[in-house]
Structure 1
Amino acid sequence: MNEPRGPQGPAMPIAQPYGYAYPPGLPPHHPKTSGLAITTLVLGVAGCLALPLLPAIIIGIIALTQTGPGKRPGRGLAIGGLAAAGFWAVGWIALLGNTMGNPDRYTASPPGAPSPSSASCATPPSGHANICTLKPGDCLRQPVASATSVELTACGSPHTTEVIGAFTATDGPWPSGADLKAEALDHCQRILAKNVDKPRLDAEGVYTDLGYLKPEREPWKHGVRTVFCTLVSPGSQLTDSALVPGADLSIPTG
């Protein structure tokens, strides 16, 4: 017997399963981030060491051609690496240009050589001196602890301090007071015996102390090594030069 059939209608399309852009079981393919772009970023950040700068720029340019819309991801990394490399390149160029333009600022002068010219040796105000312009035979109105800026006065008027000579300190790191004291005492006592009219001062009852003026940290960093020996009379008892006629006023003295 034939089984009854239902009414014949139009054929219905078979529904397709949703969610399969690729064959079932295979994940979508995502392009990998450009390895050159990652390398550019690493080298650009490391540009503070100078050596990675050139490779960062070369690799970064290549990475730009491989990345972008429709290409491999990583264009932002390449741009960031190139920007970092450019920043460090500008810094290194400025540093090298400053060093090459004024090499004397970074080297110490040999013993006996004139002090180098630098910002720390700028011309002092009228009637004053600094560590680069002070010289043996100068007289100072007041006692000073450093030669950053000292007020000069005529040696024929009452004054507390007279520069009796100078020596070149041993090269090395900037010395503290204790580090330089022994060296200054040795040189300044020798200069005192050679240049100062001590019998006349004793006969006049003038009390004096031996001292010295050293460069401050900044001039020392720029190569200034001249230390000045001074004769100090705290009560301003000096009314004339304490030096003997024809005293040695060279730098270094004797």
Structure 2
Amino acid sequence: MNQPYGFVHPPGYPPQRPKTSGLAIATLVLGLAGCLALPLLPAVILGIIALTQTGQGKQQGRGLAIGGLAAAAFWTIGWVALLGNTMSNPDNHTASPSSASCATPPAGHANICTLKPGDCLRQPVGSATSVELTSCVSPHSTEVIGAFTATDGPWPGGGELKSEALDHCQRIMAKNVDSPRLNAEGVYTDLGYLKPEREPWKQGVRTVFCTLVSPDSKLTGSVLVSGADLAVPTG
């Protein structure tokens, strides 16, 4: 009786299993580490090569390569969503004040980084991009009576800071301003505040200055009481 031939391995030896692809293992490891961002590109490159190595049973590990690529895709989508959200809303970014946001103002002027309680201003202003200083002895419209640190968050455009400023500035006015003298002299004043503009706010500047404003510039001499608290922020 004829014996069939066609052995695929020597008699008495078990068949050898294909080796597991090292690149497939590396793809899985790098894909799972995609939360760190840097491993994502190597994971994709090695994963593509590993799929070729493990095709048609050449080597084992095709599932590992596919799993690594899937993990890399998941982390890539997450990073794209995170970066897209941050770039679409730049006001969410905060950092320490930089030299650009605290540049030296022109002579006779102040900005949000150089203004201080006790300073007198020639004209009433709504922001401290650059304000003109004047002597408190001569007639002026505005005096800085104190400061507070605003709550962190997106830049408060419009009147979004008004409620917080009113609370802090009323407290500072009661503490620092010589209201009886102003009333006796018949000087009408409004309570106001100077907040950082958008760029300084994005750089981390949160100091808001409380001001007392005379619309008809009838302030002469400082409105502050003797020994007023001139700290920034005003305690």
TM-score relative to the length of structure 2: 0.61
Q: Say if 2:145 is the partner of 1:128.
A: no
Distance 2:161 2:128 in 1: 15
Taking structure 1 as reference, are residues 52 and 188 closer, same or farther at Cα in structure 2, changes over 3 Å only? same
Task: String of CA shifts for 1:92-150, please: whole Å, max 9, x gaps.
Answer: xxxxxxxxxxxxxx6446xxxxxx23312100011100001101000000111100000
CA contact (8 A) 1:118 1:222 kept: no
What is the match of residue 27 of structure 2? none
- Structure 2 residues not aligned, in runs of 5+: 1-36, 48-92
Q: How does 1:14-29 map to 2 (within 5 A)?
A: none
What is the match of residue 169 of structure 2? 188
Distance 1:191 1:204 in 2: 21
Per-residue deviation, 1:179: 1.6
Per-residue deviation, 1:210: 0.2
Q: How does 1:194-213 map to 2 (within 5 A)?
A: 194-213=175-194
2:211 to 223, 230, 233: 230
Identity value in percent: 81
Distance 2:45 2:109 in 1: 53
Residue identity matched to 1:129:
A
Per-residue deviation, 1:175: 1.1
Distance 1:58 1:123 in 2: 53
What is the match of residue 165 of structure 1? 146
CA contact (8 A) 2:128 2:195 kept: yes
Q: Say if 2:227 is the partner of 1:246.
A: yes
Residue identity matched to 1:243:
L
Residue identity matched to 2:109:
H
Distance 2:198 2:215 in 1: 26
Distance 1:150 1:191 in 2: 21
CA contact (8 A) 1:169 1:226 kept: yes
CA contact (8 A) 2:94 2:201 kept: no
Per-residue deviation, 1:152: 0.4
Q: Say if 2:120 is the partner of 1:139.
A: yes
List, as ranges, runs of 4+ consecutive aligned residues in structure 1 with deviation greater than 2 Å. 49-59, 106-109
1:117 to 81, 87, 98: 98
Residue identity matched to 1:147:
A
Taking structure 1 as reference, are residues 159 and 107 closer, same or farther at Cα in structure 2, changes over 3 Å only? same
Residue identity matched to 1:178:
G
Q: Say if 2:198 is the partner of 1:217.
A: yes
CA-based RMSD of the aligned residues comes to 2.3
What is the match of residue 177 of structure 1? 158
CA contact (8 A) 1:142 1:161 kept: yes
What is the match of residue 62 of structure 2? none
Distance 1:118 1:53 in 2: 36
1:155 to 117, 136, 139: 136
TM-score relative to the length of structure 1: 0.57
Residue identity matched to 1:189:
Q
